[in-house]
Amino acid sequence: MTVPQTLTQKLLAAACGRDEVAVGEIVTCGVDLAMFHDSSGPRRLQPMLESLGAQLWNKSKVVLVIDHYVPETDDESRRIVRIARDWASAQQLPNVYDSVGICHVVVPEHGHLRPGMFCVGGDSHSPTGGAFGAYMFGIGSTEMLGVAVSGEIWVKVPDTIQMRWDGKLADGVTAKDMMLHMIGRFGMNGGRYQAIEFCGEAVRALSMQERMTLSNMSAELGSQVGLIAPDTTTVDYLRAVGVADPIDVDRWQSDAGAHAEVHTFDASTLAPQVAAPHSPANTRAIDQFADVMVDVAYLGACTGAKLEDLRAAARVLKGRRVADGMRFVVAPASARDQAQAVREGVMDVLVEAGAQVLANTCGACAGYGGSIPEGATVLSSTARNFRGRMGAETAQVYLGSPYAVAAAALTGRIADPRELLA
């Protein structure tokens, strides 16, 4: 008799060539895609591969994104980026994206992720792929070496926790608010090895870019993956980015009766959320921070500067100017999203409001770019606010949604964006 399987189990069973797997089993999975970037990839992999005399197992399944150390501002950055570019050229890699955006946005927008895939990435926010019904997680350089040579990796089948969101989000409340609320409730370490599946009416109503934010920040919940079952929204996105292959939606759903721990939330009651320094787990409703004055509003990163995030900020700022003395920094997550925002007039709104526009890179989210001064109080759309994470050790970094960042830019303090949208 077949045991009901969660989406987690179905994906891992397919990756190891079986009909089903049990929680706690250790299975060897074939990798459909391995993603690495200039920081985690060639500068570490190249010497290890050379010392072994080994070759990449399948170049067509490798994606290299140069997004961390660009634009190069010093000799060390130039060295790291040169290694990545030279290695990509020597290997004749077919999938290289250089200075066109952040890996977690660039990979899906070029059609590399599809339901049912098993993927790894050399970055902790690789669970973004789970938004597409793909099992994708981050690994370190030594594990990536094994994948690069063999095309396989072992996985212990995790428990599944379902985060079910019922109801409908209010205008001005986003996936970022949902995620910050969950991190505030459960902390940054769920306490055990786990897979999270986001489900329910409010999750199904999210666009793909909003789903990507949820899955991305499952890392902050301590989960290996953050899965969302695919549906017509998934298919529509993939067709729009050029995926012509058949897409199986029905197969990649958790079975009724499959064992999972379930937590239920009411999306209709959720207020915008803010995380105080120096942890995403320091989250409370935004009205608890009304007396916090802000020096820098940072709209950037894979969780806060995609096309829909730029549009959200523009809704708040249209026809307005940022507060006197306020620094409003915008680093669009990809060149493609920025180009579309230009066509829609969104970038004009942000620039006319007083935005300083930076390159399509990880930038200050990963501590590069120098856009966060020492001692500043910052409201940021990034995923993490650890001390020194954004480069300035003495900065006080709060986290919020793109709406909240725009509201801070406008008012000079942490403010509820719903009041400005009304």
Which residues, 6+ apart, have CB-to-CB distance to 223 below 8 Å?
A: 127, 161, 190, 194, 195, 196
Contact 222, 252 (CB under 8 A): no
pLDDT exceeds 80 at position 96:
yes
Task: Compute the average pLDDT of residues 136-164.
Answer: 96
Contact 292, 277 (CB under 8 A): no
Supply the pLDDT for residue 282.
96
Tens-digit pLDDT profile for residues 244-283: 999 999 999 999 999 999 999 999 999 999 999 999 999 9
pLDDT exceeds 60 at position 158:
yes
Tens-digit pLDDT profile for residues 296-346: 999 999 999 999 999 999 999 999 999 999 999 999 999 999 999 999 999
Supply the pLDDT for residue 192.
59
Supply the pLDDT for residue 191.
46
CB neighbours of residue 19 within 10 Å: 9
CA distance 393 to 275: 18
Confidence of residue 40 (pLDDT cuts 50, 70, 90): confident
pTM score of the predicted model: 0.96
Confidence of residue 83 (pLDDT cuts 50, 70, 90): very high
Strand partners, 155: 27
The backbone torsions φ and ψ at residue 43, rounded to the nearest 5 degrees and listed phi first, read -65, -25
**Domains observed in the chain:** 7-266 (3.30.499.10), 272-419 (3.30.499.10)
Tens-digit pLDDT profile for residues 172-184: 999 999 999 999 9
